[in-house]
Amino acid sequence: MHYLIISFSHKNTDLVTRERLALSDTARRERVAEDLLCCDSINEIIVLSTCNRIEIIASTKDPYHSTEAILQKLSDISSISLEELEGRADVYEDNGAVHHIFSVASGLDSLVVGETQIAGQLKDAYKEAYEKGWCAQKLGRLMHYAFKCSKEVRTSTQISKNPVSIASAAVAMARDKLGNLGGMSAVVVGAGEMGSLAAKHLRAHGCNVILVGRNLQKTKEIAQEIDPSIQVTSNNELPRLINSYRLLFSATSSKEPVITKEMIEAKEFQRLWFDMAIPRDIEAIDLPNITLYAVDDLKEIVDKNMALREEQAREAYKIVGFYVKDFFRWLQTLEIDPIIKEIRAQAKEAALRELQKAIKKGYIDKNAEKNVEKLLHSAFNRFLHTPTKRLKAIADEPSADTIVEAIKFCFDIEDEVGLNRYKCEYFMNLRS
């Protein structure tokens, strides 16, 4: 079994390409996952799709053929040539895959280093895959450790102190451009996670917020949770709102722009707009007095934070490295302990079988059965003591996998022995 991750992110893929690759639509995501699970080489799948990344996380028998299948499927669904995807994709296997997903979960691979939003998004992706039967134990183990690592990075470093998400980066940029936001008014389109975050950050800076949502009742409930002072209105008011206020933050899940050229009127006052959605919410415009920022433009904020977070990131990577090593050590222990138990069970079964034969043939008196059984038990325990001790000692060594496979072959132990004895702590760790 191998771990494999195919990654398209802000590091290797521009915004337009990420929009075409985006798997934010549930039906589209299900089609990709279910089609890939039909491949003989792929055992389990998790699909992570956010504004800044599309990650296909897989447990596979054959990384090479699985990579081919994943890239071909993404090419088919996005209409991007296979050659272009091959040139852009970051492909991680085994140790590299584990290190990558631990780094992603810890916010170290994000556009804004140290942001915590990605951990929740990864948990949601895992929850979906687990509940829909796309993944089971192998990826469950990986996610279990990724969330442990993420939690350790958050608690042991200050990398997420005053965390910066895409939404907070947009608000910070607005503050940098306009100065104090207190008393100003901002229109926030979309009552999902990103829109809610933007509204929270704006209110924290004393900005009046008008929250626009497709479902008016749901939007009112969300606004009430954030701050009762937030005004709420429906999408029907968008044409009026975008032409009445200076600040606009948009983050919906719409596949098409919700703010089109036809809706926009020329105004004398300066307007600052932030499109935080993928695909984009605001149609490309070229009008005076409107400055439009998309997701990639927020790197201006990122650059300012990088210097401040660099030292903490180095400490965080040390933690990630420790957890990667500990993860593989743990996996090897999961393999070795059941194998030792299986060998002992085989030895005991053989000894008791031969004891019963001896009693049946009259070689041993029936009254002595218990004493002889104790003697046999002591004998095979003594015989297996050194092999058991040495097997446990090499659990941390790179050679452990080869030795374990050889022992499985010699004792005719099934490949899956021990693999089903670990119950993923899914419900315990999913929201920790």
Which residues participate in catalysis according to the annotation? Answer: 51
| Residue 308: both structure tokens together | 């401040």
Residues 43, 38: Cα–Cα separation, whole Å: 9
- Residue whose C-alpha is closest to residue 120's, from 212, 192, 26: 192
Distances (CA, A) of 189 to 180, 205, 258: 22, 18, 9
DSSP calls for 42-73? EEEEEEEE-SSEEEEEEEES-HHHHHHHHHHH
What is the residue type of 299?
K
The 3-state DSSP class for residue 126 equals helix
> Facing residues of 355 across strands?
none
Cα 166 to chain centroid distance, Å, stands at 17
What is the residue type of 24?
S
In b/e form, how buried is each residue of 231-255, taking b as 16+ CB within 10 angstroms? ebbebeebeebbeebbbbbbbbebe
Residues 408, 199: Cα–Cα separation, whole Å: 58
Sheet with 2-9, strands from edge to edge, namely 42-49, 53-60, 2-9, 90-93
For residue 4, what is the DSSP state? E
Q: Residue with structure tokens 């008011």?
A: 237
Q: What is the dihedral of CA 241, 246, 247, 250, to 10 degrees?
A: 40
DSSP calls for 247-276? EEEE----SS-SB-GGG----SS-EEEEE-
What length is written for the chain? Answer: 432
